[in-house]
Structure 1
């Protein structure tokens, strides 16, 4: 089972602290944008051959967990 804890890191010295795939400068944001533009996991691993399908899945898990823990603010009040 893929988890993101070993694959996604944030270091202030790399990409201004944005979450990246460990050992790369490929940000979670970049991968999500590529996926939203229609790229497949295979497309992304071809564009960036030093990352794996598991890395891409870790990006998705990271984003899902981030949203699951997001607190909603009621602006209607």
Structure 2
């Protein structure tokens, strides 16, 4: 899996520091919002051509690792 810093960028000058796909102005949250609405990954990539398939897949892999971690309780506590 690719390093988070190579996938996601957080910069106060870009969308007020919202996490975006590195090298773009597309918020990472947008991917999850589209998927929640039933939009396919291919459609998302068509709508946001500056995001590469590898970037999107890497974010999904990262999310999967986070929510299936054996230390998920620590993650919940940190996020609260």
For the superposition of Structure 1 and Structure 2, which TM-score range results when normalised by the shorter chain?
0.7 to 0.9
Give the paired residue count. Answer: 72
- Give the unaligned 5+ runs of structure 1: none
RMSD over aligned Cα atoms: 2.2
- Give the unaligned 5+ runs of structure 2: none
**Larger Rg over CA atoms:** 1
Higher helix share: 2
Q: Which residue of 1 aligns with 2:37?
A: 37
State the TM-score, normalized to the length of structure 1.
Answer: 0.74
State the TM-score, normalized to the length of structure 2.
Answer: 0.72
Change (3 A) 1:62 1:14: farther
Distance (whole Å) between structure 2 residues aligned to residue 60 and residue 42 of structure 1:
14
Q: Where does structure 1 differ by over 6 angstroms across 4 or more consecutive aligned residues?
A: none
Distance (whole Å) between structure 2 residues aligned to residue 32 and residue 43 of structure 1:
13
